[in-house]
Structure 1
Amino acid sequence: MIERLTWIEYMHSTLKEENIVASIKAGLIVIGQNWNGENALETQKRVLQYFGFQVNPKQCWNWQYTQNAEDETNESYIQAAQEFEYIS
């Protein structure tokens, strides 16, 4: 997707064509196990805004099972799947 967005941005900034994504509303869903979900969501929102999308914060959501970046146990992944199933 980023490669396509780069091409769209090039057409707009270099060739002075219309930005074809400027009026498109966008949202994001970021799902993770144990590391940096909130930061990933904020970064991806900024990427979409850079390319001209109209990012709606109400349509952006992050779910992360644990804040422990070192938790890579099988039990943790099983518990995360169960927790996600419960909230979805």
Structure 2
Amino acid sequence: GDCAEACPSIESFEKESSRLDNLQLAKASCLTWNNVLCMSCIGKCDARALRLDERRRLILNDSLCTGCGMCVHSCPVNALGV
């Protein structure tokens, strides 16, 4: 749009910064790893990169993760990040 015309480098910056790389799960903070059922992040992940295992603990599938960051913003205890 107008911003990209005024500053051509902003378009490439927006594309680069919109994806999270190397998403990490802090198991010590994650509610599911502390025996509390929580699905806040799972409900936000359209890529289905997050699931609960048989013990209802959060599992992250890096190969499915698109890096959108929706899970990071939805976690009530900030257990997901880069």
Fold in common (TM above 0.5):
no
Q: Which has the higher contact order (CA 8 A, sep 6+)?
A: 2
The structure with more radius of gyration: 1
More strand by share: 1
User: TM-score, normalised to structure 1's length?
Assistant: 0.21
